[in-house]
Structure 1
Amino acid sequence: MLNKLLEVVRSYYEQVKPIEDRFKRMSTFELLVGTIISQNTNWRNVERAMANLRDRGLLSPEGVLRANPRELEKALRVAGLYRVKAARIREIAERIVSSGLSLDDVLRLRWSEARAKLMELPAVGYKTADILLAFKAGAPVIPVDTHIARVSKRLGLVERGAGYEEVRAVLESAVPPNERNLFHLALIRFGREVCKAKNPSCDVCPLRDLCPSSTSKP
């Protein structure tokens, strides 16, 4: 099943390559902010919110702290949950500035040390830390978001109750290190377009004949 999934997901690589390139061009703080904004919304709304932040000079820790909190909320409104996200971004900015922390210096540490250090920041868990490590430090890690976890569980790659680290380990066992960024982005797209949380499109899924959760068998 893992090999078949990899074959299917590879067909999305060309579509998501521009996203990988965009992530790599971002500053580390920008990518951190974008990851927080992306929770419970689509990437189109993330891009609109990021553009708002950029126009207002709010894509640096110092810029965030100089701004009126209401201005930050206004910029994030298009992405939903804007008050919660604004508070998280501001809290992270405060921690970075008050401690003199350099995110880029953190990313130069060994992978395990960098991950632990990043997760000391407010609202930064495994996924957010791994996204920074994967796209800004070149770490061979597959960040696991809700779409990736859902697809993995529906396909029976892991048990329904599997946690983040178990899902990550199973996927990394099959995906070559040099493909993991694209695999991460492509599997998210597959989860959004085909293996959706509600009303999955099993009838057009190329994995339906192998998937134990499929509602449409050929």
Structure 2
Amino acid sequence: MAQEWTEQRVRQLHDDLVSLYEPIDREETHGADPEAEPGAGVRQLLTTILSQNVADENTRRASESLFDTYETYADIEAADQDELAETIRVAGLPDQKSARIQRSLEAIREETGGAYSLAFLDAMGTDEAKDWLTEIKGVGPKTASVVLNFHFGKPTMAVDTHVERVSKRFGLVPENATNQRAHDVLGERVPDELTYPLHVLLIRHGRTYCTARSPDCDNPVCDQYCGCENC
């Protein structure tokens, strides 16, 4: 019988992953002061939109192309959409992503009365801030969670393909759960202070051992938690 995922067991999973890898320091990975750069939250949002369903290297290339081509967020919002799509083409789905980027900038500008800043989200509760972001067409729970957790330190668990795969193999999330349901389940089960480090650790485990194809289950974490057919 599968073991129940209590808060204590989630904490133990975190500790076991730390033992296998290393402690996660938010400041080392995302800086000590996310508000130090004006508009940094907006940049995080646009970069996360670019990262949807694409490899990290192509996200980096598309992001560099976007911010090298346009000097300001206003320029990006006002750009011809076909031109913008060509600028970010390497990220894939250029027409959809260019529209999402421009809709996001329009929503931010209208909310702030002209400024391209997401600082107002910091004063909102987590659920309210997530609702605001996901009201933008094309901004789903993963994109919103990345921005809110990485940039504002809010307790939102971003469920990317690695987190979802590992969580389902470990039984932390039901195997038949949708991505939205996976966000909800992990949001309920993971203690607030572990949302960021556990997110990073699950991604590392998914890339290192618990890969989509031919997973290497010869490690103490998989021995303890994984229920996939290779274990």
Give TM class, smaller chain.
Answer: 0.7 to 0.9
2:92 paired residue number: 80
| AA of the residue aligned to 1:166 | V
Structure 2 residue ranges without an equivalent (≥5): 1-8
Cα distance between partner residues in 1 of 2:32 and 2:62: 15
**Structure 2 residue identity aligned to 1:44:** E
User: Residue 215 of structure 1 corresponds to which residue in structure 2?
Assistant: 230
Matched, 1:135 2:150: yes
Aligned residues: 210
- After superposing the two structures, state which structure 1 stretch, 14-23 or 123-132, moved more: 14-23
User: Match for 1:56 among 69, 74, 78?
Assistant: 69
* Structure 2 match to 1:165: 184
How high is the sequence identity, in percent, across the aligned residues?
32
Q: Deviations over 1:161-188 (max 9, x none)?
A: 2312013322x14xx61x5323322322
Distance change >3 Å, CA 95–CA 15, structure 1 → 2:
closer
1:193-208 map, 5 Å: 193-202=208-217, 204-208=218-222
Q: Which amino acid aligns with 1:151?
A: V
In the alignment, structure 1 residue 150 sits paired with structure 2 residue 165: yes
Q: How far off its partner does 1:148 sit?
A: 0.9
Q: CA shift at 1:151, angstroms? A: 0.6
2:47 aligned partner, one-letter code: G
Q: What residue number does 2:51 align with?
A: 38
Amino acid at match of 1:190: H
Find the partner of 2:124 among 95, 104, 109. 109
1:84-99 alignment runs, 5 A limit: 84-99=96-111
C-alpha distance after superposition, 1:136-176 (max 9, x if no partner) = 22213322222212111101123212312013322x14xx6
Give the alignment partner of residue 126 of structure 1, picking from 126, 141, 159.
Answer: 141
- Which consecutive unaligned segments of at least 5 residues does structure 1 have? none
In 2: Cα distance, 1:201 partner to 1:76 partner: 35
| Aligned-residue CA RMSD (Å) | 2.8
TM-score by length of 2: 0.77
Letter in 1 for 2:89: R
